[in-house]
Structure 1
Amino acid sequence: MTLGFEDVLNGDPQRFATIAVRWDELAATVAAQREQWQAQVHGALGEQKWQGAAADLARGHIDTVGQSFAGHEQNLRQVSAVLRRSATGFADAQAALDEVRQQAANLGLVIGQDGSVAVDPAQALTAPPNPQAMQDVANRIGTAIQSANTADQQAASALDALAPGGPGTAPLTSPSSTTAPSPQAAVSKDLPPGAPAPGSDPKAVKQWWDTLSLDEKRRTADKYPYYVGSTNGIPSAARDYANRQVLDDLIANTKDEEKRKGLLKLRQNLGPGPGFPEKDIPDPGDPQHPPKLLLNVNTDGTGHMIVATGNPDSAHNVVTWVPGMGTKLNEQNADWATGIPGNIYNQTVGKDHGGSTAVIAWMDYDAPPDVGGAAFADQAKAAAPHLADFERGLNATHNPGDDPHSVLLGHSYGSSVVGETANALHGQGGLSALGVDDVIAVGSPGMDVWNAKDLGVKDGHVFASRAALDPIALSMNQMGVGAHLLDPTDPKFGAHVFDSGTGGNPQDAHGSYFVSTESLTNMSDIIRGDYGKVH
């Protein structure tokens, strides 16, 4: 069926968006059922409870059924993405048709039910017909109708491909297949019309975003999710909405198995999204159940992601945690991206503390893969401008009625990234130029600066700690100096050194800072600004 003038004029694209939400909910239900089924069936068997050939066959069958669940979930989410893009394309065509109808009225023309253009009889005597103007209006009507038909045909083809057995469906017994489904290729990576170029000042991006109506913002996020999701200066809730579409697209098209598993784990950990926000900064909600917002995701280099626990645009205490060596897009880091900020958040907010806090896992750089690479500052220097721009973006989108308490928390090589960011801003006042109030370094090999003052925050607002059994101490010589200069816990550095306990044992101590009662308690006191409690 070909759509005509009245079909486009009277269509309701919002129905597609509403149906897309229902498909998302169905996908989330399937995902929850899969997790419950695996826990109850696969987990109940255990490796020690049942062994032998029959046990191996049973477990193989169980894995196949679990993969079938995952395949269904992926296909359901792809249907949702197709419906959203169709709604956006149809709405754009309607908007173009509304504009040309207004143009026709201004020119004294009328448009018939079939889209034909004629002179308004009421104005025929006073306004002689202008053939060129009539042709221009007719051309614009034709273009709008064609755009609506294109959106409709693309959606029909994509949905047909996703029908059972269609070429776009994920094989139900092998969700790890790297075949790229055709519907997902339609996600645009282009620049929205009139939008600032990537890398522009986040303030300029926010100014542009503020010129858009709510409907325009929603359509832009649906049509250009890669731009909206990755651009600093666009509010966090809108970036999360866009990045969930990007995440689905990457899952469908990523061939690198490690990255793809990381993407799937990330989507599982995030849970279902809330839909497009009705305002730039949604109401905070229950602090005991903070939102998880996906602020960036891509498969460039080693793969990157930024995940916030709590909304940094509305929270007063905003923590950016920069992890170190081995950070990349895989299952383990996807767990850390939500789990570690969750630990910090829960300790900071707690049942008795209250407060308004957001903790961000900033995994947006190519970290050294091993100790040998971590001995050099090259990757920390390369990460510095990206971390600085992200922090500027947080400032641009934060609630203008609040002066946030900004904390940079670097773990291991991540503390070197924080230090190199300060070095890059040396002529501008260091980290204070980004609005950073406090710096925390834990398990640090050095921050590529010699003194806390070099970081550019107020005296007494640089904090450092090392667990007693953390082997990172072996990277320093007897003078406390290593490849990344002076140990931040050395008295000569000038940081406020706090207790992180022993770390349990040398094997676990380097990663103990986010599970240790001592370190988490002290860090949460710093984050809340309760400096007198830090010990």
Structure 2
Amino acid sequence: MVSYADVRKWKPEELESAHSDLGNRRNDLVGLQDELDGAKKTDGWSGAAADASAAEHAKLVDGMRSLIAEVATVRVAVATAADDVAKIKKRIEEADREAEANGFQITDEGGIRDVAPPQDVPEDQLEEVKQKRLQVRDKLMADIEKILDDAEQADAELAKALTAAQQDEIKPGEGGTLADAASTDDLQALAASAGKPADDSPEANAEWWKSLSDEQRAALMEAPPAWLGSRDGIPAAARDMANRANIDNVRGDLVAERDRLQEGGVSEDEQKKLDEINAKIASVDQVRETIGNEEPPRQLLVLDPSGERLKAAVAVGDVDNADHVSVFTPGFTTTVDGSLANYDDKMRELVAESSDQLAASGKGGEVAAVTWIGYEAPQTSETGDLFGDSVASSSSAKEGGAKLNDFYQGINASRDNDPNLTAIGHSYGSTTTGYALQGGDHGVDNAILYGSPGVGTSDIKDLNVPEGRAYLLEAKNDPVADLGRFGTDPTHMDGFTDLSTAKSDQGAEVTGHSDYLNPDTTSQHNIAAVVAGVPENAVEGSTDGVGDKISYGTHKTREGVEAVQEWGSERWSDAKELGSDAWSGVKDAGSKVKDFFS
């Protein structure tokens, strides 16, 4: 029997810590899949020893699968208990406050003690005050009884899961991998009972998730359907779990498709498809390697094998709880297999620099940064496709921008409190970012664009970013930043705050198109300052390239022509007015002469 004193001592944070530890243990066990596969008896080995080895291997696999199923089941129970205990503790605090406000005290036994009855109550109000206090006491008694009932239920459910695990009563999920073992029948049934969102908008996804019971959410974390990982508006932790659980399936499907194509020879048309599949397999392998980094932990927020190239997004840090979140979108020639590792490293360095600036400013808070390769950026091989996927076309940027807008929305929609959200775009990725921001309702607080060939508009108001919170960086000898290919060259758009890329007390200079995020540079310092919510730390300043000087000269020439045209127009107007007056005078004089001779 759970007592009120026991419940008062419960600590939901300890259950949350246990839930996290169990998740790490489950991941460690699932991560042994390759070693288990490698430990199978080799082809050509036969005999008694081979049979004994195979039997031991099968026994080991069965034991591991059972252990993973038990860990998954207990983890769901712990997650549910942690949520239940947190709610119960909050109700206890509310009951204690109400009791104290009315002169009562709730004892460790769950009783009500009258410790501060009202004094000097007028005679004619005594009965009214008495009845009111009796009502408060009765309500407190009912609240305490309900709290103890719910606490007893939470304790019993957790004990039930622990007992089932201890007595080996939990049957592993179907499937041949260790990851499949975590999806037990009970967890799958509970996850299936959650249904699906009404549609695939960030708002609908977020509302659906928040409407679920604690048990359903916990089950979906352990036995997630594949579609859960791609839904903007779902918490990052849940998306990460779903996408990690789906990696083996995605890779397996790609390998099966590759093997099918290779059967009986490959035609010229099939070779292109085969090359795409091999690149996707390499991309999946790169994703797996990247999310294996744990300092800080990574979150896999997008894993999309559709289309010509695999799309992915990986976060450094905890997007669900970070106070400051940035989303970086790279540009031309970006691929998951060729670019993710480098950009993930840059985001790790950016998080570290942003955190250092927060600490130096005397401000607390956590930082997370996402590398978003959720669109198919133009490639060198597509340069000739001027009206399609070429870097000279806005087609890919517009398509990617729509997805990126949903991604921004999803971060805010999935959380109870909005983070300081920063959109970062480089090169063609800044164009994609520009189109995403023009989509509106994105919840982005700051936009940082660098090496930008344009943002798809000539008016900064179209980006829907708070005034003064759009920042631009251009390095010396960066030709792309002067193209102005997509809308006006941002350098000449009113409303951007120019941040320096030159040498300063805060870091070294960067030159060219690709080094803005290099550590120990002024540009990285400035980007980190905005991400960390301390833009006052940034060093302002602009760099004019050759294109800017030409553009400036053209701009001044245009101003001169417009001024001459305006002057000429004014003089012509004056001349017309003067001529009109003169002609009127001549007519008047002629009329007088005519009258005289008449």
| TM bin (shorter chain) | 0.5 to 0.7
1:308 corresponds to which letter in structure 2? A
CA separation in 2, counterparts of 1:394 and 1:322?
Answer: 15
Distance verdict in 2 for CA 1:410–1:306, change over 3 Å? same
Within the alignment, does 1:514 sit opposite 2:517 as a pair? yes
Q: Which residue of 1 aligns with 2:268?
A: none
Within the alignment, does 1:488 sit opposite 2:506 as a pair? no
Q: Which residue of 2 aligns with 1:270?
A: 291
CA separation in 2, counterparts of 1:322 and 1:313?
Answer: 19
Equivalent residues in 2 for 1:159-198 (5 A)? 192=192, 195-197=195-197
Distance verdict in 2 for CA 1:449–1:85, change over 3 Å? farther
Distance verdict in 2 for CA 1:241–1:469, change over 3 Å? same
2:350 corresponds to which letter in structure 1? I
What SS does structure 2 have at the residue aligned with 1:511?
coil
CA shift for structure 1 position 84: 5.4
CA separation in 2, counterparts of 1:264 and 1:385?
Answer: 27
Contact 1:81 1:245 in 2 (8 A): no
Q: Which residue of 2 aligns with 1:69?
A: none
CA separation in 2, counterparts of 1:381 and 1:296?
Answer: 19
CA separation in 1, counterparts of 2:287 and 2:515?
Answer: 22
Q: Which residue of 2 aligns with 1:439?
A: 447
Distance verdict in 2 for CA 1:419–1:272, change over 3 Å? closer
CA separation in 2, counterparts of 1:382 and 1:296?
Answer: 16
Q: TM-score, normalised by structure 2?
A: 0.53
Q: Which residue of 1 aligns with 2:386?
A: none
Distance verdict in 2 for CA 1:201–1:350, change over 3 Å? same
Contact 1:20 1:80 in 2 (8 A): no
Equivalent residues in 2 for 1:88-167 (5 A)? 155=174, 158=176
Aligned residues: 359
CA separation in 1, counterparts of 2:426 and 2:192?
Answer: 37
CA shift for structure 1 position 87: 7.1
Q: Which residue of 2 aligns with 1:417?
A: 432
CA separation in 2, counterparts of 1:31 and 1:487?
Answer: 51
CA separation in 2, counterparts of 1:510 and 1:298?
Answer: 29
Contact 1:82 1:158 in 2 (8 A): no
1:342 corresponds to which letter in structure 2? R
Between stretches 193-202 and 341-350, larger displacement belongs to 193-202
Q: Which residue of 1 aligns with 2:10?
A: none
CA shift for structure 1 position 85: 12
Which of 414, 433, 438 is the aligned partner of 1:397?
Answer: 414
Which of 281, 296, 299 is the aligned partner of 2:305?
Answer: 299
Distance verdict in 2 for CA 1:87–1:499, change over 3 Å? closer
CA separation in 2, counterparts of 1:327 and 1:526?
Answer: 24
Distance verdict in 2 for CA 1:153–1:398, change over 3 Å? closer
Deviations, residues 272-321 of structure 1 (Å, cap 9, x unaligned): 88xxxxxxxxxxxxxxx532111111211211111111222211211111
CA separation in 2, counterparts of 1:470 and 1:198?
Answer: 46
2:206 corresponds to which letter in structure 1? K
Equivalent residues in 2 for 1:357-396 (5 A)? 357-370=367-380, 372=383, 373-396=390-413
Contact 2:502 2:510 in 1 (8 A): no
Contact 1:85 1:223 in 2 (8 A): no
1:414 corresponds to which letter in structure 2? G
CA shift for structure 1 position 458: 2.4
Distance verdict in 2 for CA 1:257–1:86, change over 3 Å? farther
What SS does structure 1 have at the residue aligned with 2:228?
helix
2:176 corresponds to which letter in structure 1? A
2:353 corresponds to which letter in structure 1? Q
What SS does structure 2 have at the residue aligned with 1:485?
coil
Q: Which residue of 2 aligns with 1:212?
A: 212
Contact 1:28 1:271 in 2 (8 A): no
What SS does structure 2 have at the residue aligned with 1:237?
helix
Q: Give the share of equivalent positions with the same residue, in percent.
A: 27
CA separation in 1, counterparts of 2:529 and 2:71?
Answer: 49
Q: TM-score, normalised by structure 1?
A: 0.58
Contact 1:388 1:421 in 2 (8 A): yes
CA separation in 1, counterparts of 2:249 and 2:66?
Answer: 9
Q: Which residue of 1 aligns with 2:458?
A: 450
Distance verdict in 2 for CA 1:528–1:321, change over 3 Å? same
Q: Which residue of 2 aligns with 1:261?
A: 282
CA shift for structure 1 position 262: 2.2
Q: Which residue of 2 aligns with 1:500?
A: 501
2:491 corresponds to which letter in structure 1? T
What SS does structure 1 have at the residue aligned with 2:328?
strand
CA shift for structure 1 position 198: 7.7
Contact 2:327 2:423 in 1 (8 A): yes
Aligned alpha-carbon RMSD (Å):
4.1
What SS does structure 2 have at the residue aligned with 1:307?
strand
Between 1 and 2, higher relative CO (CA 8 Å, sep ≥ 6) is seen in 1
CA shift for structure 1 position 192: 4.7
Contact 1:309 1:360 in 2 (8 A): yes
Deviations, residues 412-467 of structure 1 (Å, cap 9, x unaligned): 11111121123333xxxxxxx22211111011111111132221222221111111
CA shift for structure 1 position 360: 1.1
What SS does structure 1 have at the residue aligned with 2:424?
strand
2:467 corresponds to which letter in structure 1? D
2:459 corresponds to which letter in structure 1? N
Distance verdict in 2 for CA 1:532–1:328, change over 3 Å? same
Contact 2:379 2:391 in 1 (8 A): yes
Contact 2:22 2:71 in 1 (8 A): no
2:332 corresponds to which letter in structure 1? M
What SS does structure 2 have at the residue aligned with 1:305?
strand
Q: Which residue of 1 aligns with 2:225?
A: 225
Contact 1:405 1:437 in 2 (8 A): yes
2:306 corresponds to which letter in structure 1? D
